[in-house]
Structure 1
Amino acid sequence: MAIQNHQPIVRSATTLTFAFSLITSLLPNFSASLCAQAVAPESVLGDTTMPPPDDVSQRFPYGITGKTPPALTKVNHAGQEPYHKHRINLRVFQGCPQVEISDGGRLWATWFGSNTQTERAPFHQGQFSVISTSGDGGKTWKEVFVFDPSDLLGGGASDPMLWKDPTGNIRFIGLRNIDFKGKDDFATSAWEFTMLDPEKEHTRWSPPRLLGNKNISVMKPLIFPDKTILRSMDDFKLVGKKDKVRIRFLKEDVDGKPLFVSELPIDNDAGFAEQMPIIRKDGSLFTFYRARNGQKFAESFDGGRTWQLGGYYPMQFSINTKCILKTLPSGRVLLVANDVQMDSKNGGKRYFYTDDLGKENELKKNKTARTRMTAYLSEDDGKTFPHRMLLCDDGQISYPSATLGKDGAIYIVYDQGRGEIGQHTIFLSKITEADVLAGKRVDDDSFLNNIVSRPSDHGGGRREGDTL
């Protein structure tokens, strides 16, 4: 029976013992053909060559094209008017956070939000991205920069990213969307800024670099031992359109030069793929990607140039929502995901989780796939995830991001109820491997669900009667 017509196989994390050799023999799609050979980056990213500095497009506001550079706006600084348009008590929607940490221990977070509406794809008018920082380990936070393209023909921001490059510099990617009525190849464009003073709350920034005209900002890049990187890409405008190549990777050299773009074979089960590969001990690559009934997986045995699809992973989790993978210094693999399973009941959907004793527990309060944010650990390169620790099950919880401190701490952010009254919260948890192995906090410095941002705590947020 083809995997597309088969219900996802559900197993508890503690009893899942399939080896990849068994997985590959059981899943018919695993033997699917490799994707086409890697393609030229320009054929996917567009021509990212920038016009000369004296070109009218580089001299905002005199000429605006998809290559007019964006800028970051400093907020909440000495001397600023208190009633600026990005202040938190005007915000009614926010979500999709990312987190990073400087070498000196300063935490940085970013997410997108709006004063007027919920998310509106594909151009996201009325949305901006916030950059916030904490100098005390995540106890308190201050919003210090905003990426807001609204002055450029009503552009909007979506899916911001913070990540640490091979040299330890923190970079921010802003995704800009402008409705050029189909007359500009860079209506969607990803721009990357590098922090110059990451230990200061109002750091200086490098000029932005144009990465391409695709979404390259949802998942952190994979860094290879030779310091080349692999960026995850997705063409979100093609979601739901069958038989379109959409899920890709961009390989760059140490200087940022594009080397190739590779493509996953078409999978019409895939939603917003949000793939995040790891390097296994044998040098091969492994990634999950978001699909209709859970997470599917793919593998590459040539450094990301070609990929094999493996079908649905035997453990069901993060049903059509984002999860993240990260290899820890210990060699264990961290997975942060929604610990929810799903099947049919009386013509509808039943959401449940399986506890450590193998008992199924139906969700009563939060009947959604986006709850029970959980940290898992694998001892075997992602074949199984026997260790897990619940982080948060308070409402709709989704879109994790993680970074590692020098002391072994794991910092994880995620959002709660993006447009829900009293919620739209960005949470931060700090845990260790020992916590996950124990299934509970055992480290004295660990904490769960500190508030990074919640507009309703500052007089903002969605109110009764608001229609977003």
Structure 2
Amino acid sequence: MLSGIRLTCFALMAGLGISLAQAQETAPADPGLALPVINTAPLPKYDYDRLDYGMTIGIERTPKGRIWACWVGGGDNHDAFFVLNSSDDDGKSWSKPRVVIDPHDPALDDKRRTIVGNLWTDPLGRLWLFFDQSLTHFDGRNGNWYTRCDNPDSENPVWSTPVRIWHGCSLNKPMILSDGTWLLNVSLWDEGKINPKYKEKYRELDSLRMANVFASTDQGKTWVRRGGVRYPQPQFDEHHIIERKDGTLWMTARTANGMWESVSTDKGKTWSEPRKYLEHIGSRHFMRRLQSGRILMVRHGAVTEKTKFRSKLTAYLSEDEGKTWVGGLMLDERRGISYPDGFQAPDGTIYISYDHNRDFDGEILMARFTEKDILDGKFGGRKSKPKILISKPLGLDKLPAPSDVTN
């Protein structure tokens, strides 16, 4: 069995241009800092009939129209790993899993998982996959990594060797300021989420446990922490930043007491005292500036509602920089839906992905619609369509998570 594991590892490393000897020589003593492997030949181990869970990370469009989707397999816990697939026909059909990041190693004392990240296409047409790596569900430090694909529309996409940016994780896409600076949201979770085994291990990071903002002025070659906000009753932060038309930055974040906000007048270096913005169930929301200049918000329920369940996923528009919201397009009314992420295509069509019943159905779904649909409150556009299936695990209640399979 061990020889089989070594051969598998060698094959994966060879695909990255890394020899086994090199990997052993450079392997850090700290397993939380080990170089992740980007598995671009994940079948059959990670085929749909070997998956039993589905939690969405997000979707992104690349320059020639391919849509990439990323989701979590294994569970919303220390079994988690990333799976990616793609569509070349606007979401009508989807490939089998094409890329997997599964950092689990049965030789380790603790599980090592990947559970948070995002997909983003930069202005140069390069597809970034941000992802985290932690021992246990959260070891108090975590690690925020990226791999980049410079030919994402190719028949054979090539992913770069992963680079560790900092600690923490980035659930939502970067945004670009009017001066060209790229901003990346990085959350370093609070002490209450640290595994008891690691409670005292990274005390030097306690002052940075917040919704951090990192900046790059060289198109992602380097990232530097610029500032951050510590929200009361934090719940993974999951923050978004919008640059308002007056030049200020507006951050919204998830807390245990709804959606909160903070404002920066110096490009993210300092932030106002956070305050409550809107009622909301404890779950991810989505904010993005659209081509029209309006702001898109996707959330659960009515604008001022705190739903009892993760249900009624609805899209709204703001024409006054987030002061008020208009329209209301129900993307999915059912219970057990969550975690919207998306993009706007060059033709103005909006695409939002989300998950449905992670443990029992594990479906990753997509809605396609227009700004007019939001204002009209119904799917009326030529391409508009709700509840498009991206992926569904077929191993539900049948198989252990792939991270538990060692042969």
Task: With the length of structure 2 as denominator, give the TM-score of the two structures.
Answer: 0.82
Conserved 8 A contact 1:430-1:448: yes
Structure-1 separation of matches of 2:236 and 2:272: 19
1:280–1:61 CA distance, 2 compared to 1 (3 A): same
Aligned residues: 366
Q: Are residue 301 (structure 1) and residue 255 (structure 2) matched?
A: no
CA apart distance, 1:230: 1.2
CA apart distance, 1:62: 7.1
CA apart distance, 1:257: 2.3
Specify which of 213, 217, 234 is matched with residue 167 of structure 2: 213
> Which residue does 2:285 correspond to in 1?
323
CA apart distance, 1:380: 0.6
> Which residue does 1:387 correspond to in 2?
327
Structure-2 separation of matches of 1:397 and 1:178: 28
CA apart distance, 1:58: 5.8
CA apart distance, 1:237: 5.0
Structure-2 separation of matches of 1:425 and 1:96: 9
Conserved 8 A contact 1:57-1:63: no
1:194–1:418 CA distance, 2 compared to 1 (3 A): same
CA apart distance, 1:97: 2.3
1:145–1:56 CA distance, 2 compared to 1 (3 A): closer
> Which residue does 2:11 correspond to in 1?
none
> Which residue does 2:199 correspond to in 1?
none
Amino acid at match of 2:263: E
Q: SS of the counterpart of 1:325?
A: strand
CA apart distance, 1:219: 1.0
Amino acid at match of 2:337: I
1:243–1:54 CA distance, 2 compared to 1 (3 A): closer
1:436–1:341 CA distance, 2 compared to 1 (3 A): closer
Segments of structure 1 that go 5 or more residues without pairing to the other structure are 1-52, 344-350, 353-366
Q: Are residue 441 (structure 1) and residue 395 (structure 2) matched?
A: no
Quick one: higher RCO (CA 8 Å, sep 6+), 1 or 2? 1
Specify which of 55, 60, 64 is matched with residue 100 of structure 1: 60
Of 157-166 and 320-329, more deviation after overlay is shown by 157-166
1:462–1:384 CA distance, 2 compared to 1 (3 A): farther
Of 445-454 and 251-260, more deviation after overlay is shown by 251-260
Q: Are residue 249 (structure 1) and residue 213 (structure 2) matched?
A: yes
Matches within 5 A, 1:63-462: 63-64=27-28, 65=30, 66-75=32-41, 84-114=44-74, 118-120=75-77, 124=78, 126-142=79-95, 143-151=97-105, 153=108, 154-178=111-135, 188-200=142-154, 202-215=156-169, 217-239=170-192, 245-255=209-219, 256-264=221-229, 266-313=230-277, 315-317=278-280, 319-339=281-301, 367-368=308-309, 370-420=310-360, 423-455=361-393, 458=394, 460-462=395-397
CA apart distance, 1:165: 1.9
- Provide the aligned C-alpha RMSD in A: 3.0
Q: SS of the counterpart of 2:104?
A: helix
CA apart distance, 1:293: 2.5
Conserved 8 A contact 1:159-1:218: yes
Segments of structure 2 that go 5 or more residues without pairing to the other structure are 1-16, 195-205, 402-407
1:271–1:57 CA distance, 2 compared to 1 (3 A): farther
1:289–1:73 CA distance, 2 compared to 1 (3 A): same
Percent identity between matched residues is 28
Conserved 8 A contact 2:231-2:274: no
CA apart distance, 1:260: 3.4
Deviation string 1:121-156 (CA, Å, 9 cap, x unpaired) is xxx2x3210011000101111121101111384521
Structure-2 separation of matches of 1:205 and 1:136: 22
Conserved 8 A contact 2:228-2:268: no
Structure-1 separation of matches of 2:207 and 2:40: 43
Structure-1 separation of matches of 2:318 and 2:120: 23
Structure-2 separation of matches of 1:54 and 1:395: 46
Amino acid at match of 1:209: V
Conserved 8 A contact 1:144-1:202: no
Task: With the length of structure 1 as denominator, give the TM-score of the two structures.
Answer: 0.72
Amino acid at match of 2:171: V
Amino acid at match of 1:337: R
CA apart distance, 1:278: 0.5
CA apart distance, 1:372: 0.7
Q: SS of the counterpart of 1:276?
A: strand
Q: SS of the counterpart of 1:380?
A: coil
Amino acid at match of 1:339: G
